[in-house]
Each structure stands twice: as C-alpha cells, then as structure tokens.
Structure 1
Amino acid sequence: MTKGSFRRSGLEWFSSLPACLLLLSVVLFSTSSDIHNQMLRGGEQLWSGYYKLRMDPVAPTCNADRDIDAAVAQELAQKPADDDPMAMLLGAQEKDPADVRLAIERSVADCKAAYQSYDSLQDKLTPGVKAYRAVELFVADLIAFGLESQRYILVLLVMLCAATATLTRHHIAMRAMETRLDYTVSLTLQTIANAMLLGSSLIFRQSSLGTETAVSSDDLLLHNFWVVGFASLTLASLYRLVRVPAGLAPGGQLNKAFLAVPLYTVMCLISGSYFALIGHTSGIGIYLGKMVELADMFLNVGLYVWVGMMLKQTRLATLVFNLFRPWRMPPELLAVVAVLVAAVPTAYTGASGIFVIAAGAVIYSELRAAGARRQLALAATAMSGSLGVVLRPCLLVVVIAYLNREVTTDDLFGWGIWVFVLTAAMFSAVALTVNRQSKFNLAPASEALPATLKALRSLIPYALVIVGVVLLYRFALDVRMDEFSAPRLLPVIMLSILVYEHISFKNKKGSATGEINHQGLERSVRGATNDTTAEIGALLLLLGLSVSIGGVIERSQIMEAFPQAFDSAWSAMLLMVMILVILGMIMDAFGAVILVTATVASIAYSSGIHPIHFWMVTLVAFELGYLSPPVALNHLLTRQVVGEAEVLAAQQEGGTFYQRHERIIMPLIAMGISLVLVAFVPLMFYA
C-alpha cells in the first residue's frame, strides 16, 4: 500500500511509459473507427460511388462483341450430355429460339455494361482518389489490427501494472506493511499466490494443446502472454521478498501480519485451493480468460483510472472547492457539498473506488482545512464516490445493460437519478443532524457571492477546453458525449486540460496564480501514469481474481441451495439484499456484476422483482458493501490516498462511540437507510 524505493528511483518510466503507450493505443484504436466512418462519408461526398473505388476494378472477361446470331445457332445445336440425366430430361423439350436469343442479348448487354462500368471506374481513379484511398484503407487496417490486439493489450497492461504494484508495494490490503513480520508474511503469500497463478496458466495452456480441437496461433500466443506475465509477477514478488526494505519496524504480530496480505492474494489462495481440491487446477486460468472475452470493458476501466489520475494532477478539484470556500460553511455542510459535487466526476470515472483514488486526497485536505474533524473528513472521502455510480455515463451501469438484455442504459440512468436524489438526501440528513458539532454561521451573501463569482472565472477556461473537445468530436467525428464514447473522450479531455495548464502556467510563470509548483506537461503526464500503473495493477488483478471467486461460488453450487424462485417478492428481495451486500464486501464491482448476472439475477426475475428495480438495488447494495467492514474497500482506498498516519490519528481521537467510529458508522447509516428504501418501497406498488 505504500510506495517503495522503486517509485522514487527515477526508473518509473520503465513501467509507466509502456503503460502510457498501451493506454494511448486503446484511445487511438477506438477513435480511429470514428475517423474511418467520417472518411467513408467524406469519400462518398467527394466522389460518388467511392465504395466501388476502394479496390482496383477488375476488368471483365466476357466478350462484348459476341455474334448473337452465331451464338443462338450454337446454343440451339447443342445436345445434352449422355451422362447428365437432368440435362437429358430438359433436352427432351425443344428450345425456344426466341428465349435463347433474349438470354444471349441480355448477356451481351450485361457484358457491355460491365465494360462501361470498368472504364468509368478507371477514369475516376485519379491520383487524388488513390492517395485518399491509401489513407482510408490504412485507417481500416489500423482498426482491424486494434480490434485483434485488444486481448493482448489487456494482458500486457494487467501484467505490467501488476508487477509494478508488486515492486512498489501498492496492492490493496486491509492494512499497510509496518513490521518485518508483516512484510515477510505478505510477500511470502504473494509469491505463493503468483506461483499458483503461473501453474494454473501453464496447466490451462497444456490442456488446451491436448484437446482434439486445434488451438489457433492467436490463442496460443495469448496463453504464452499469460504464462510469461505470471512468471514475471512471481519473480517480482520473489525479488521483493528477498530485498527487505529499510525502515520497517522489527518484530510484529501474526494476526496483524495476515491483514497486510493483499486482497487479490487471499482470493487467489481461496480459489486456487478450491479448484485444486476438486481436480480443476486450470480453473483460475480459465476464469481469468473471461477477462479477455470482455477486453474492451476492462480496458475502459484502465482508461477511467488514467483519467482519474490525470484529474488528480490538475487544479480542477481545488478550483471547484474555491467556489464554496467564501461561504465559510461548517464542516458538516461542506462534507455534504463535497459528496454531492463528487457524484458527477464519479459517473465519469466509472466507479466509486476510482474516484476515491483520484480526488480523495484533495477532498480530505480541503475538509480538514475547513475545520472538519478527521473522522468526518475520512467518512466523506470514503463516500465521495458512492452517489454517482447511478448517474450517466457510469461504466458500471453500461456493463450491467451489456450483460442483461432485460434492461437498457436509458432505463437504468433514468431511475438512477431518483436513486441519487434519495441517497443524497439520506447522507445530507445524517451528516447535518447526527452528531453535528458546528454552528451554521454562513458568510453573508453580499460578501460570499462576489468571491464565488471571482472564483468561478478561474473555471471558465477549463469549461472552454472541455466544450471544445466535445464539439470537435461532435462535428468532426460525429461522436456525441455519452456512456459509450466517454472512455475515449475523457482521456483526450484530460490531456487537453493538462496542455492548457502547462501553457497557461508557463506563460504566467506561476506568479499570477500562485501555482509556482506546477510540474509541467511531461511531469504531470508521467506522474499521472506512474500512479495509474500501480492502481491498474492493484485494481484489475483484484477484479480478475474476483471473477475467479465468482467461479468458485458458481461451481460450488451454493446458489442452488436457494429456491430458484420465491412465492413472495418481499422474501426474495430480503435474500437478494443480504447476498448483494455480502458480494459488495468481498468482490470488486465489475466481477460482482458478472457473478450476479449469472446466478442471482434470474432468481430475482422469477420471483417477480422487476429487472430495473433489481439492478438499482444491486448498485446501492454494492456501495453499502464497499463501505462495510470487514473489507470496506472504499475505506481502504481512502487510507491509501490520505496516508496511514491520518487514519491512525483519527482512531486515537476521543469522544463517544459514534465520534470514535464516525468514519465507518455515518456512511453505513446513510447507505443502509437508502438501501432499505430502494429495495422495499417500490414493492408496495407492483409486488
């Protein structure tokens, strides 16, 4: 969870530069399809019938000067072959000379038309057309190559970033490595888990080669990528195990040491042991292969992480907080504002955890600067990404609609607005009523409003940059900003903002704005990509092993112990809520959605629960699970971005039981009440 010396050694570009190139290639390949569509339209507008000019016309082989009379006579003189019964039968009837002549005349006419078309196309093949066609066909080939390469890009990205996360000790765990025992236990189990992944991939490769069905060269190459990747990951963890860093406290306690084991390691050991016991040692490799089947979705997750890290490098979050600072809001109200405002960028970063990683540090520092107690600031930071997952264009909702034909993105986002209003109201009520310790003495509007308007002017250039990129895509490529185009538009938007800041601060030299520590474009992109590599490695490896845990649940037939349909939708909903919250506690969102689609969803539908209602409940239940012990993923990510020292300081603060555990209890109350309302109130109207 902490950054090792590898990150500070100046060698980070050895991992982040390839990761940056891979992510840029994903954006390029996805954007090239839009460019190609516009090139086809442009070619058709410039040269009518351009689609026929994309390939060199082939000269006809027929005879346009054929003697019709001679051909008719020859056809009438022909007799059926002796060995052709059908021809003998047809030949028993006399051929009508008029029909034969008509057929031959049509054939000659078609031949002449083919020659005319060929000559016309030849005349249209000007040097300009050939040059345009060469570029257009190159883009088409680039798209085809990109589509074929998605699987390999994903595997390379996962393995490269996972090795980086291992070397930098950045995997997600219940607690950080503080002692030598923590380090030894964690790295030993990581090495065992990585070796287990390597072994499963090797066995899966050999079993695929041993089947009667021939394995394609592409599939074999993919198997080799997994094997080499996990071998590298095993060596990375083994290297880290041998090279113990300085600064670790001696000794340690075994029970705490196990909490420092990364979550992906725990999932790997559980699923690997289970598959070994049932004689299915290639199980982990098979379920990791499901990531490849949805390569575009997982690559979009990587792009969203990159977008979040680039957002972290900009001043956007600070400038947004500057709008509210003149009002001198009490900490509780500012926490509410922060969580509500964070809902929009959360929707554009794909998942609550990604936003916590991206902007959690800024939110926490701003709340602390406003006088918020640590527990309140940690609670708001952990929950800052929880409300926006139901808003357009959240990737998680798109994945749900992609995997489930019973719902559409329009339906889910339409009802998601109401769920957002409910959860926002619940959080506001809890934050402003339960254990409120501050007085509401807002600054006068006559004093605060001018300062807010002045702060708003600083955001105008950013808004212009965003609008400019969106309009460029809209009119140049005919691409609208929506849930499907967001993964490829957002990286371009964030890179444009970084370019703007680089030019702006370089011209002003930081004196006018006080931004004297601006790093410049290259360092900003490098810093964002450095953080991205570690986060992608931790997140996607966790996600992949979540899919494997889902396979354990699926193969163990746990769900078959439950009825496949309930007589009462109320009873079914009660069970669904409990299952979904537990899944949210132990699994990543995307892996959990895949598992729920394959198991729980059909039971809910059969029990009379409306599909849209079920998935709204699922999203809220997942968010409650991410905020619930023992794992509480969003709290782990909060600790990762604000630092272990701040969390320890918060735990040492006194007060009532609620005050000492506010960072855990307050989100649970807000999301728990919201979940109960979302789950059971709609049943009153249709169940």
Structure 2
Amino acid sequence: MSASVLTERGRVARRTGLEWFSSFPACILLLLVVIFSTSSDIHNQMLQAGEQMWSGYYKLRVDPVAPSCNPNRDIDAEVQRQVLEAHQAPADPLMSLLGERTVNPADIRAAVENAIALCQQKHAEFDSLQGQITPALEVYRAVEGFVADVIALGLTSQRYILVVLVMLCAATATLTRHHIAMRAIDTRLDYTVSYFLQTVANVMLLGSSVLFRQTSHDAGADITFEREILHDLWIVGFAALTLVSLYRLVRPPADLQEGGDLMKAGLAVPLYTVMCLISGTYFALLGHASGIGVYLDKMMELSDMFLNVGLYVWVGMMLKQTRLAPLVFNAFRPWRMPPEMLAVVAVIVAAVPTAYTGASGIFVIAAGAVIYSELRAAGARRHLALAATAMSGSLGVVLRPCLLVVVIAYLNREVTTDVLFGWGIWVFLLTAVMFLVVSLTVNRQSRFELAPVAEALPAMLRALVPLIPYVLVVAVVVLFYRWALDVGMDEFSAPRILPVIMLAILVYEHLAFRKRGRKEAAPKHQGIERSIRGATNDTTSEIGALLLLLGLSVSIGGVIERAEIMQMFPQAFGSAWTAMLLMVVVLVVLGMIMDAFGAVILVSATVATIAYGSGIDPIHFWMTTLVAFELGYLSPPVALNHLLTRQVVGETEVSAALAETGTFYQRHERIIMPLIVMGISLVLVAFVPLMFYA
C-alpha cells in the first residue's frame, strides 16, 4: 500500500474524529437553541388553546386543592362563640385608655356570614374544577407541562450552552488553524510564534478565570449553583484550549515552509491572542489579574445574542449547501451585466439579510463565500469579488429590523427605532448610490453594455421559475410561525426561524432531486445528512474564531473604559464641527478594534454624551456612528471584514489576487474601493447635516 494512500486514510480518519469531537456536539447544541426558543412560542399557543378548550385552564394546570374551611357551619352558634371569646379575651391597655370595650354581635354576624359565603364559593369553584378534569385534560396538561419544563431547562441552560459552544468551537479553530489573523501561517516560524503566543494567551485566560472564581468566593459574595457551574466551565474550557494549543505547538505539520520573517510571523498571531495579551497585561499591571475573566463573564448577560451569532453562521453555511444562491444569480445573468454592476446588485441584495443578522461581520462569515463564488462564476475579477464580499454586509446595518439599531435605541432614550430606521433608509440609499457611482466610474474596467430588454427580460422570467418552490418553502415556514405560533419574522425571531427555513430547503432539495433521479441532481447536493454535516463542519471553526474574538473585544472595551481614555477629552466642544471631526476619528478607530455590539455599549456610555453636549443631534450622531463603524471594519491595518472574507474565501484566492499585476489601484482594488465608497459616505453623513442645524 502506497504512502499517499495511507496519508489520505489518515486525513479521513482525523476528519471523521474531528466531526465526532466538535461538529456533532455543535450541531446538537445549535439545534437545542432552536428547540428551546421555539418551545416558548409553542407553549404560549398551548396555554391559549387550553383556555379555549377548558374555561379556567390556568387553574386546571394542576390538581385543585380542596378548601379547608367548613361551608356548613351554624351561623348562630359561630356568632355566640365569637362573642363569648371576645368578652373573655384579656383587655387591651390601649383600648382601655380610649374607653370601655364594646362587642357588637351584628358586626360579628355579618363577618361570619361573609366568611361562610366565601367558603361556599371556594367549594363550588373546587367542585366545578374537579368536574372538568377529564382524561383528555390530564393528557393535554401533561404535554403542556413537559413543554414548560423544556422552556425552563432552556432558560437555565442557555449560558451553559454558550460556554460549551465557545470552548468547543475555539478548540476546533485552534486544531484546524482557523483563528482570525492578519495573515495566514506559511512558514515554520509563523507557526511557532503563533501557537506559542496562543498558548501564552490561553494560560492567561485560564489564570484569569481561576482568579475570578477565587476572588468571587473571597469577597463573600452569594455564589449561586448556576454561577459556580459557569466558573468551572470557563476554567475547564480554557484548560482544554491551553492543552490543544500546546499540542499543536509541539506537533507542527510537515507542509510548512522553512525559515520565515519575525515581523510577518507576528501578523500570523490570531487577533484574539493579541487582544488577550494586551488586556491581560494591562489588568495584571493594574493589580486586577482577574479582569479578563470578569469581562468574559459579562458575555453571559448577552448569551442569547452570542448564541444568535452562532445560529446565523450555521444558516450561512447551510445556504452554501443549497442551490439557492446560484439560482438567484442566474436571474441576473441574462442582462449580461458588467462585473462591476453585478457586484453592486449583489451588495444591495445582501443588505436585507444583513439587517436580520445585525452586523456586517456576521453576514460576511455566514454568506461571504457564496457571494464571492457566484461573482467569480459570473466573470468578476478576484479583487472586485473580494471587495464586494467584504462590503456585502456594510449597507444593511441601518435597515429594519437590524438588532444593532434596536440596541442603540434601548441604551439611548434620545432616539427611537422608528426614527433611526426612517433615516437609515436614506443612509442606505446614499451608500448604495455611492457604491454604484464608484463601481461604474473609478472602478470600471469593462464595457458597460447591457443585453436588450426584449432578450433579457423573458430569459430572466424563465430563470425565476426554479426559484418559485424555494419561495413557497420559505412562505410555508414563515406563515406556519405566524399563524400557528403567532410569531412574525423580525430581528428577535429570525435567529430561530432562519435555521428552520434552511433545513426545510435542504429537505425540499433532497426530495426533489431524489424524485428526478440522481443523474439530474446537482453535483453539490449530497443528501440531507451530508449537507447538514458539511455545513456544521464549516460552522464550528467559524463560530470558534468569531465568538472568541468578540469575547476578547469586550475585554478591550474594558481596558478603554478603565483607562478612562475618553475622560482625556473635553466633555463638550464649543463647535459641533470640531466635535464631529473628533467623533469620526474615534468611531472609526473603535470600529477597527471592537465588535459592533461591544462598541455601541462603550460609545453609549462615553462618546455619545460628548456629542450630545456639543450640540450634535442624537439621530445624526448614531447614523454617523453606524457608517463610521463600517468604515472601521474595512480599514487597515485590521480591516476585520477583509479578514473575515479571507477566512471564508480561502487563502488561495486572496494570494492569487495579491499576485495579479496592474496599476496601484488595480493591485489594491479590494482595499481601496470599499474605503472610497464608505469614506465618501461617512463624510457626507457626518458633515452635510451640520450645515442645516449647527
């Protein structure tokens, strides 16, 4: 047997083992999140249905308890007894000072009659409820009680699921070299530096978690059992992550190049590691070594949001397993659009799903690979496809029902979601027009010549026909939630509805292709089980890389907060123009180093108050903030959305793009084009409104 065959078998065995170690548990955890969240909707409907079938069902959920009072007491005897007891009772000194104590038998009789009437009413209600308990009711309330227990389990286990999911997927990302860094690992020096610092950072995370647990006990705080379990899960998780990174450090792969440059090796260190080393060192010098553990523990307060991030990534990876994206792009191909215009269409269409995911980075991870591959298949050059992929989520963060805007309105009473979304439409139109103008002027490298309408329109309509079953599947799931569970599609329900939609689409494709026969099936379709397994395999590494990065960005926010950097600036400026100029710089920098939700929380507590005090309108400020964040995610040296694009597209495609020749702009189009679009948009959004009210 040849060595190549043995090597391939070893790779298959390692991949299968990794699937059982990470992908299968991650799939179970993500399904549990969907089940727990959906069970709440089911339970609400079951309570309403129970009330319609059995009047007073809320009281019938448990067996009624017979009243202990006697409804057949003799009123005269009871009145005489109470009058006698009142006369024989010791005198109250205070009542003696006020005068002679008197007992009114009429008042006692009225009280006794009221008590007996109330007792008879309780017995009548008990007899009525007892008569309604039938075998059907007992079965129904048993099922309803089981669903209620599932909800209670889901609420208590949500934080546990998040910690286990983060640690499991982070370990997978470490094993597969999938953490987010400025550049990929190429040489042995890159590998050694990266994994050595990862090990140091993981030890720092482990130590901080242990110290946080210890200081919580030493402070005499009332540590609940749930909190104790969370402390232990963080400790066990970071201990396992340390062992995994140490294992990878001492077991380098054989395909690495020899040599390397130390400066370039530093760029191969994952961003979460850099953030951990910075924040951990700062907190240690401050005498607060448990600081990282404290801020990571704050993730638990937003556990539902971070779990939603995982669900969105899973949805995007399932989307890759379907034919939906190619069919959508097929509808535009008859127009023979130049690549630049097709990129504009892709980015504008992507704005709607971005509004549901709530952050551009999440959408890039979830759907970036699909957008890139379809643009390339339509003839777009690599740099243009990479630029469009990085920007694919940048336009939709201002549209309804983006969760980020909801968080802004929740933290700032000066603004409302209706007003923010109203102005967000205009900001979206502005950025879309800017993208179109830049694509067709500065960026255009091909002829602008569309197909005739008489030729393109019929072909487009024919291409839309295969999409009809997908639209029907989506409609059935959405309408089921709306009519059966009374849940509409919005920013709160989307994380639990979208996975169900994608699973339904996979089931449809499986049934459709099986009916047509294997010869007509799409080459990429491999059945439901393989599709879900493939999607989850991709999901685990992406979730681990993204959630660990988001968690450590919270600790960086803690460093900024504790260092009181914003207190170095004046609390108000005399000129709104000067204040806005400073705000733009600060907001773009925050967008470079923090995730959107953590940055919004920090800005709400610091920068926003300075802006308001300087005369900047709150709506104007937050529209500027959202655009500035997006520019920050696209700006070097970090350029997080570009890093996420490379993460999902692959290092090979990015390297091939970097190897292309041409003018300076053509060689750096993937970076420069988004900067031009979002930079001009930010200047217009930030300063033009000041002309009208400042």
Tell me the SS of whatever aligns to 1:421: helix
Moved more, 435-444 or 552-561: 435-444
Kindly state the Cα deviation for residue 510 of structure 1 after the two structures are TM-superposed. 4.5
Q: Give the counterpart of 2:15 among 6, 9, 13.
A: 9
1:374-417 CA-to-partner distances (Å, cap 9, x unmatched) read: 22222112111211122223232233334334333333222211
Question: Counterparts of 2:11 and 2:622 in 1: how far apart (Å)?
Answer: 43
Tell me the SS of whatever aligns to 1:466: helix
Question: Counterparts of 1:31 and 1:557 in 2: how far apart (Å)?
Answer: 42
Q: Is the 8 A contact 1:43 1:50 kept in 2?
A: yes
Question: Counterparts of 2:434 and 2:353 in 1: how far apart (Å)?
Answer: 20
Question: Counterparts of 1:527 and 1:445 in 2: how far apart (Å)?
Answer: 40
* Cα gap change, 1:206 to 1:623, in 2 (>3 Å): same
* Cα gap change, 1:7 to 1:376, in 2 (>3 Å): farther
1:408-435 CA-to-partner distances (Å, cap 9, x unmatched) read: 3333222211111010000100010114
Q: Which residue of 2 aligns with 1:343?
A: 351
TM score, norm. by length of structure 1: 0.96
Question: Counterparts of 1:154 and 1:243 in 2: how far apart (Å)?
Answer: 29
Q: Give the counterpart of 1:151 among 145, 150, 159.
A: 159
1:349-368 equivalence runs, <5 A: 349-368=357-376
Q: Give the counterpart of 2:28 among 21, 24, 27.
A: 21
Tell me the SS of whatever aligns to 1:385: coil
1:55-102 CA-to-partner distances (Å, cap 9, x unmatched) read: 211111112121111121222222364374456568933122221111
Q: Which residue of 1 aligns with 2:300?
A: 292
Question: Counterparts of 1:516 and 1:660 in 2: how far apart (Å)?
Answer: 34
* Cα gap change, 1:579 to 1:106, in 2 (>3 Å): same
Question: Counterparts of 2:229 and 2:91 in 1: how far apart (Å)?
Answer: 52
User: Which structure 1 residue ranges, 5 or more long, are not aligned?
Assistant: none
RMSD: 1.8
Q: Is the 8 A contact 2:29 2:165 kept in 1?
A: yes
Q: Is the 8 A contact 1:197 1:285 kept in 2?
A: yes
1:490-517 CA-to-partner distances (Å, cap 9, x unmatched) read: 11111111111111112223534x5133
1:135 aligns with 2:125: no
Q: Which residue of 1 aligns with 2:632?
A: 625
Kindly state the Cα deviation for residue 310 of structure 1 after the two structures are TM-superposed. 1.2
Tell me the SS of whatever aligns to 1:294: helix
Question: Counterparts of 1:408 and 1:157 in 2: how far apart (Å)?
Answer: 34
Kindly state the Cα deviation for residue 290 of structure 1 after the two structures are TM-superposed. 0.7
1:16-71 CA-to-partner distances (Å, cap 9, x unmatched) read: 11111111111111111111111111011001111111121111111212111112
1:667-686 equivalence runs, <5 A: 667-686=674-693
1:257-336 equivalence runs, <5 A: 257-336=265-344
* Cα gap change, 1:563 to 1:71, in 2 (>3 Å): same
Q: Which residue of 2 aligns with 1:492?
A: 500
Question: Counterparts of 2:534 and 2:100 in 1: how far apart (Å)?
Answer: 86
Kindly state the Cα deviation for residue 650 of structure 1 after the two structures are TM-superposed. 2.1
Q: Is the 8 A contact 1:304 1:350 kept in 2?
A: no
Q: Is the 8 A contact 1:308 1:349 kept in 2?
A: no
Tell me the SS of whatever aligns to 2:525: coil
TM score, norm. by length of structure 2: 0.95
- Which letter maps to 1:638? T
1:37 aligns with 2:41: no
Q: Is the 8 A contact 1:13 1:526 kept in 2?
A: no
Tell me the SS of whatever aligns to 1:459: helix
Kindly state the Cα deviation for residue 678 of structure 1 after the two structures are TM-superposed. 1.2
1:578-598 CA-to-partner distances (Å, cap 9, x unmatched) read: 111001111222222222223
- Which letter maps to 2:369? A
Q: Is the 8 A contact 1:57 1:121 kept in 2?
A: yes
Question: Counterparts of 2:357 and 2:506 in 1: how far apart (Å)?
Answer: 17
1:118 aligns with 2:129: no
Moved more, 390-399 or 550-559: 390-399
- Which letter maps to 2:328? V
Question: Counterparts of 2:120 and 2:31 in 1: how far apart (Å)?
Answer: 51
- Which letter maps to 1:132? Y
Question: Counterparts of 2:166 and 2:209 in 1: how far apart (Å)?
Answer: 15
Q: Give the counterpart of 2:417 among 409, 417, 421.
A: 409
1:153-181 CA-to-partner distances (Å, cap 9, x unmatched) read: 11111111111111111000000000000
The runs of at least 4 aligned residues of structure 1 exceeding 4 Å deviation read 4-8, 86-91
Question: Counterparts of 2:530 and 2:224 in 1: how far apart (Å)?
Answer: 42
Q: Which residue of 2 aligns with 1:607?
A: 614
Kindly state the Cα deviation for residue 301 of structure 1 after the two structures are TM-superposed. 1.2
Q: Is the 8 A contact 2:340 2:443 kept in 1?
A: no
1:120-163 CA-to-partner distances (Å, cap 9, x unmatched) read: 11111111111111111221122122111111111111111111
- Which letter maps to 1:463? V
Q: Which residue of 2 aligns with 1:189?
A: 197
Moved more, 355-364 or 17-26: 355-364
Q: Is the 8 A contact 2:356 2:490 kept in 1?
A: no
Q: Which residue of 1 aligns with 2:172?
A: 164
Q: Is the 8 A contact 1:6 1:168 kept in 2?
A: no
1:247 aligns with 2:255: yes
Q: Which residue of 2 aligns with 1:534?
A: 541
Q: Is the 8 A contact 2:403 2:491 kept in 1?
A: yes
Kindly state the Cα deviation for residue 655 of structure 1 after the two structures are TM-superposed. 2.3
1:525-550 CA-to-partner distances (Å, cap 9, x unmatched) read: 11111111111111110000000000
Q: Is the 8 A contact 2:443 2:673 kept in 1?
A: no
- Which letter maps to 2:593? I
Q: Which residue of 2 aligns with 1:452?
A: 460
Q: Which residue of 1 aligns with 2:4?
A: none
1:519 aligns with 2:523: no
Moved more, 446-455 or 342-351: 342-351
Q: Which residue of 1 aligns with 2:385?
A: 377
- Which letter maps to 1:131? V
Tell me the SS of whatever aligns to 2:573: coil
- Which letter maps to 2:16? G
* Cα gap change, 1:531 to 1:85, in 2 (>3 Å): farther
Identity of aligned residues (%): 76
Total equivalences in the alignment: 683
* Cα gap change, 1:504 to 1:89, in 2 (>3 Å): farther
Q: Which residue of 2 aligns with 1:591?
A: 598
- Which letter maps to 1:453? L
- Which letter maps to 1:662? E
Q: Which residue of 2 aligns with 1:570?
A: 577
* Cα gap change, 1:531 to 1:350, in 2 (>3 Å): farther
Question: Counterparts of 1:354 and 1:13 in 2: how far apart (Å)?
Answer: 26
1:341-365 CA-to-partner distances (Å, cap 9, x unmatched) read: 1212222333222222233233223
User: Which structure 2 residue ranges, 5 or more long, are not aligned?
Assistant: 1-9
Tell me the SS of whatever aligns to 1:10: helix
Question: Counterparts of 1:90 and 1:519 in 2: how far apart (Å)?
Answer: 93
Q: Which residue of 2 aligns with 1:177?
A: 185
- Which letter maps to 2:610? I
Q: Which residue of 1 aligns with 2:116?
A: 108
- Which letter maps to 2:212? F
1:211 aligns with 2:208: no
1:481 aligns with 2:489: yes
Q: Is the 8 A contact 1:311 1:359 kept in 2?
A: yes
* Cα gap change, 1:233 to 1:5, in 2 (>3 Å): farther
Tell me the SS of whatever aligns to 1:629: coil
Question: Counterparts of 2:518 and 2:397 in 1: how far apart (Å)?
Answer: 36
Question: Counterparts of 2:617 and 2:159 in 1: how far apart (Å)?
Answer: 35
1:211-262 CA-to-partner distances (Å, cap 9, x unmatched) read: 2222111111110010001001101101111111121101111000000000
* Cα gap change, 1:410 to 1:24, in 2 (>3 Å): farther
Q: Is the 8 A contact 1:584 1:624 kept in 2?
A: yes
- Which letter maps to 2:107? D
Q: Is the 8 A contact 1:304 1:349 kept in 2?
A: yes
Kindly state the Cα deviation for residue 674 of structure 1 after the two structures are TM-superposed. 0.6
Question: Counterparts of 2:93 and 2:305 in 1: how far apart (Å)?
Answer: 59
